[in-house]
Amino acid sequence: MNKKERVHYIAEKLEELYPQVPIPLDHKDPYTLLIAVLLSAQCTDARVNTITPLLFERADNPRDMIKMSQEEIQDIIRPCGLSPMKSKGIYGLSHILLDKHEGQVPQSFEDLEALPAVGHKTASVVMSQAFGFPAFPVDTHIQRLAYRWKLSSGKNVVQTEKDLKRLFPKETWNKLHLQIIFYGREFCMARGHQIQNCEICRTVGARV
């Protein structure tokens, strides 16, 4: 199976398995999505979804968020890990949204990536899931599967994103990155991966 055939097969199989893909992080608007994505760094989506209701009960918009102290934010989000850095980022970006963006989450990569604690992957998720802009957020999990499925050299997430964007049509990116995440969680885990239970790996002759 050459790379073009692998790409076609993977896209078809993921669409067959996951024709509908819900956004894993609970949110109600771009701001709460941005905060949830920031909290998800080195933390499971399931845990984030247990913490954000507690945080958003106190503050689900930047104006209410800055009424809290950074220490109060940190106490709430502590179970998500990296709470000192994340609380500083949440507090700081909330101020910037009010000062520079009229309290609204900006709809550009440049403005998003200028916010504290917001990297390219977080910006890509927000642009994709909040605003419908074609993006291909790549985290270490997608990087791992792209390498395993021989879609990318897997040297770093930047190169993997470029490779995946080149291989798959732009109109599929927003859905496809979620489909890969769901498939990885169900069949193609980092640990305890059983190739006999992973149809894509069996079919494409995956790197193991």
Establish whether 121 is a catalytic residue.
Answer: yes
Give pLDDT, residue 102: 98
Chunked into runs of 10 residues, the chain (208 residues) has average pLDDT values of: 95 98 97 98 96 98 98 98 98 98 98 97 97 96 95 91 98 98 94 91 90
Establish whether 139 is a catalytic residue.
Answer: yes
Give pLDDT, residue 155: 84
CA distances from 146 to 4, 139, 141, 142, 160 (A): 14, 11, 9, 6, 7
| Closest-CA residue to 73 (of 87, 94, 59, 58) | 87
Give pLDDT, residue 207: 87
Give pLDDT, residue 44: 94
Residues comprising the chain, all counted = 208
Q: Which helix (H) or strand (E) holds 134?
A: none
**Complete domains list, the chain, with CATH:** 3-22+136-204 (1.10.1670.10), 30-129 (1.10.340.30)
Give pLDDT, residue 46: 96
Rounded CA separation 49/42 (Å): 14
Catalytic residue, from 45, 60, 111, 139: name it: 139
